[in-house]
Structure 1
Amino acid sequence: MHVVGIDGHKKTHTLVAVDQLGRRADEITVKATPSGHVQALKWIARFGQVLLAIEDCRHLTRRFEADLLLAGHAVVRVHTRLMAGARRSARERGKSDPIDAEAVARVALREPELPRASLAGPARDVKLLVDHRRRLVRSRTAAANKLRWFLHEIEPELPVPSRGLRRLCVFDMLAAELDGRAGVVVEIARDLVSECRRLTEQINGLEARLRRLVETLAPSLLNIPGCGVISAAVVIGETAGAARFKSKDAFAHFTGTAPIPVWSSNKVRVRLNRGGNRSINHALHMIAVTQVRRGGEGADYFAKQLARGKTPKEAVRLLRRRVSDRVFRALLADEAVSQPTVTHADLPVSAAA
């Protein structure tokens, strides 16, 4: 069985086939167009049963991934950081598209637990909506900060709540206060009020849409104390299917809640994991902090860790890992209801992931 490594770019894709010993068998470069994808599929068919490994640059290769999956191939994703070691250990020096594609293939031979690609589903829609909402919130924050300075210049004693520039009633009050005033500063402030209102209406609409999606895809997440709609949406969008993780430990490694071993000899030591998916790590942290603040099971666990001599930061980290495990179980339960669970062992090498 051969492994085909793929180095994707905006205009071309380079494919290199290697055998089980990592020796290059053949290579081809095709255009990043539908006709080029057909040419690549015909070339791959020459090798019979294959495993396809693609550099994880989904903004460039998403369409190619979909064509490969629809053709019935198994596709695994190789993170770019894993390719550096493969390039350094290769006999051919330098960096080129064929060298990178060969490095991708050799990483796939070396690493048996690479994440498998799958066709985009509702989880991607959730991620896109969450990312879009995040951009709108940042824009509103920038406009609101500028608006506050202008409002202070216009009327220093104007009462604006600390978090009021996200409520429609506050915008109505500001519009009434600015009505009838003259000057360039007032004109700009009036425009900023309108901009903040527009952004707030868009953000509220996205949150309502995300709530409907979360209640459909993973209602069990909302039953976890401290988990709101936005946190649940981040978890769903970034996870993209909990069944692709072999265990809760693998999921914790993905979320950055699993510690990193840094020990030698007989003394076992670990340190904080600053890697993993930081978006989902932040969502889990907010769930843990909310549980501590509101009381209940999470607060009891936090207090128990403090009684054992842990610092507040260490106790929150342990609670965050506990939340990660519970989130993983909830995602698996919801996926089992919506569709039959399929493990990696059930997937043939040439079947779609």
Structure 2
Amino acid sequence: MDGKTALAFWHKYPFPTRLTSVGVEELAGYLRELSNNGLSTKKAEQILTLIAEDGDTSRDFQDKRDFIVQGLVRNIRFYEREIARIENEIESLMKQLGFQLETMTGIELVTAAELVAEIGDIHRFASPDKLARFAGIAPIVAGSGNKVRYYKSKQGNRELHDIFKALAIRQIAVTRTKKEPRNPYFHAYYEQRMAAGKTKQQAIVCIMRKLANVIYYLMKTKSAYVIPVVSSNEAA
């Protein structure tokens, strides 16, 4: 809805009646130019067919409604420019800090900045375990003697916890085309946890805990991430 082609289309044709006198070839040419040949005559035919099937859907003060739609397009374009400017500033800051978090699967600029913002100075954590506790990933141990139980922690930094969870889910994702794991190491680890009887949520928590180790190391050493080699048996 907010893509470059869509916004240009909504701005020029904020309401179906604006396309009443527009033919298939004219609309197709307009869409083709906007989308760098990504949209064809078929899309133009589909749009005009749907408009014809709907009939006249105009309402009172339609010109004012059209003006509002065009205003929304202008606002979206403005905010997109502002977001791009902010991301440029964030990128510059991240380069100054020297972290290479974006080398890891599933971490782009914004996620890297969120991790740094929530974790702060990594040296205030003596170990990955401390970071995991801070993020509310490490389980709470309760009991005495031979009876020990582990409970899910509801403490810690919940913002950081959610970032780790989203990152964990990205680790087990597969590519759309070849259906290959984006991160074979974590995908294999996830399958191992599932085979061991863990639920999906428990397996994801296991990945989150491992990710705490990885992020701790990457920030502590400012190293680039390298996906560990997975054997054929693990990948199967």
Category of TM-score, reference length = shorter chain: 0.5 to 0.7
Residue in structure 1 matched with residue 21 of structure 2 by the alignment: none
- Indicate conservation of the 8 Å contact 2:11/2:69, yes or no: no
Whichever residue aligns with residue 189 of structure 2, its letter is Y
Residue segments in structure 1 that go unaligned for 5+ positions in a row: 1-163, 336-353
Q: Distance in 1 between matches of 2:64 and 2:141?
A: 60
Displacement of 1:304 in angstroms is 0.7
Residue in structure 2 matched with residue 267 of structure 1 by the alignment: 147
Query: Quick check: 1:200 aligned with 2:80?
Result: yes
- Indicate conservation of the 8 Å contact 2:122/2:220, yes or no: yes
Cα deviations across residues 177-202 of structure 1 (Å, max 9, x unaligned)? 12896422222222112111111221
Displacement of 1:218 in angstroms is 4.2
TM-score, scaled to structure 2: 0.66
Distance 1:171 1:293, change over 3 A: same
Q: Distance in 2 between matches of 1:321 and 1:210?
A: 27
Displacement of 1:321 in angstroms is 0.8
Match of 1:303 among 188, 191, 194: 191
Q: Distance in 2 between matches of 1:222 and 1:271?
A: 32
Residue segments in structure 2 that go unaligned for 5+ positions in a row: 19-61, 175-180, 224-236
TM-score, scaled to structure 1: 0.45
Give 3-state SS (helix, strand or coil) of 1:261's partner. Answer: strand
Instruction: Report matched runs for 1:23-172 at 5 Å.
Output: 164-165=1-2, 167-172=3-8
Query: Quick check: 1:317 aligned with 2:205?
Result: yes
Q: Distance in 2 between matches of 1:264 and 1:185?
A: 68
Q: Which protein has the bigger strand share? A: 1
Q: Distance in 2 between matches of 1:215 and 1:302?
A: 32
Cα deviations across residues 94-124 of structure 1 (Å, max 9, x unaligned)? xxxxxxxxxxxxxxxxxxxxxxxxxxxxxxx
Displacement of 1:282 in angstroms is 1.7
Distance 1:169 1:208, change over 3 A: farther
Q: Distance in 1 between matches of 2:67 and 2:187?
A: 49
Give 3-state SS (helix, strand or coil) of 1:263's partner. Answer: strand
Residue in structure 1 matched with residue 116 of structure 2 by the alignment: 236
Percent identity, aligned pairs only, is 24
Cα deviations across residues 23-61 of structure 1 (Å, max 9, x unaligned)? xxxxxxxxxxxxxxxxxxxxxxxxxxxxxxxxxxxxxxx
- Indicate conservation of the 8 Å contact 2:194/2:203, yes or no: yes
Give 3-state SS (helix, strand or coil) of 1:199's partner. Answer: helix
- Indicate conservation of the 8 Å contact 2:194/2:200, yes or no: yes
- Indicate conservation of the 8 Å contact 1:218/1:331, yes or no: no
Residue in structure 2 matched with residue 177 of structure 1 by the alignment: 13
Q: Distance in 1 between matches of 2:148 and 2:128?
A: 22
Q: Distance in 2 between matches of 1:168 and 1:206?
A: 19
Distance 1:218 1:297, change over 3 A: farther
Match of 1:327 among 191, 196, 215: 215
Displacement of 1:234 in angstroms is 0.4
Match of 2:137 among 225, 237, 257: 257
Aligned length: 171
Cα deviations across residues 160-215 of structure 1 (Å, max 9, x unaligned)? xxxx32x3332112101128964222222221121111112211222233233324
Q: Distance in 2 between matches of 1:215 and 1:290?
A: 24
Taking only aligned residues, the RMSD between alpha carbons, in angstroms, comes to: 2.0
